[in-house]
Amino acid sequence: MADTIEALVPGGQADPGPPLGPELGPTPVDVQAVVQEINDQTAAFDGTEVPITISYEEDGSFEIEVGVPPTAELVKDEAGFDTGSGEPHEEFVADLSVDQVKQIAEQKHPDLLAYDLKNAAKEVVGTCTSLGVTIEGDNPREFKQKIDDGEYDEMFADEATA
């Protein structure tokens, strides 16, 4: 019977210490092999907390499923800050480019409820609103209105339909 372990690890920087070591120690898997596989699969998230699920069998075989970090973590990582604004509607802590918003939307799209990239981008902009992050110098609410008005339709067209 397979068992699973869920954890949050820093992308590309997992190690055999906590939280993985104590969880994996009593299992039949090779802890170092699991850590190496996690680091290989999460390298693109470089240091950002990534949710992972490790499924293992009694024979020591294992599979790793890597989730996508929360949108807020991706925004913070992309914009280069640690804490959102205490007053997100008046005080802004960072600024993202439209390309950065698109990149985050592409990373998160499979995990979001959005039907397309344009709506995924609007969800990312919503996160920017609560963190106090502007987009190209615009208040995120104003930027969302520009998306709604069609100013960025070409930019956020899904590759499959474009």
Q: Are 11 and 48 in contact (CB under 8 A)?
A: yes
| Across 13-17, 87-91, 148-152, least confident range | 87-91
Sort residue 138 into left (φ over 0), alpha (ψ -120 to 50) or beta: beta
Counting beta carbons within 10 angstroms of the beta carbon of residue 80, is it exposed (0 to 12), middle (13 to 18) or buried (19 or more)?
exposed
Phi, psi of 9, rounded to the nearest 5 degrees: -130, 150
Global pTM? 0.72
Q: What is the mean pLDDT of residues 100-112?
A: 88
Q: How confident is the model at residue 160 (pLDDT cuts 50, 70, 90)?
A: very low
